[in-house]
Structure 1
């Protein structure tokens, strides 16, 4: 599963979500981190929304609802398993 995490430096919610995503084993993830401060379009779209998580299907991105910062890694895995079926 290819995921994109839109993030920005100093965002503690972003860092926490990235840390948990890096621990997810099922489904296997390919995690791409995009710093919104490096792209004007990303910044305009997500400056008030980060962290934003998107799944990639072909050339299309599909935004995945942001998990709670309190979600455990197993809870995050269950949520991603649910969405992985919609990205296949």
Structure 2
């Protein structure tokens, strides 16, 4: 499984969420997760879909070829709280 974060350069909300996600995936409980950052400025379809919504977070199960959107956490959430949120979607 992996986490997909749609982001763009200069987005402070995106950068903060990315830092917390990196902390989460470094923990033993989430070692099976991989973090993928997708810059919406690199593809027009991503930009059109997410330009007003970033950061957008998905969890993808590659075995079942399914993707689920995860509600955007508060910018004030700690990485531990983010880990608890992700646990609900794994």
Tell me the TM-score normalized by structure 2. 0.88
Q: Which stretches of structure 1, 4 residues or more, deviate above 4 A after TM superposition? A: none
Q: Which runs of 5+ in 2 are unaligned?
A: none
The residue correspondences of 1:3-82 to structure 2 (distance < 5 A) are 3-24=3-24, 25=27, 26-28=29-31, 29-58=33-62, 59-82=65-88
Q: Which runs of 5+ in 1 are unaligned?
A: none
Note the aligned Cα RMSD (angstroms).
Answer: 1.0
SS in 2 for 1:23: helix
Matched positions, count = 84
Tell me the TM-score normalized by structure 1. 0.89
After TM superposition, the structure 1 stretch with the greater mean CA deviation from structure 2, 35-44 or 18-27, is 18-27
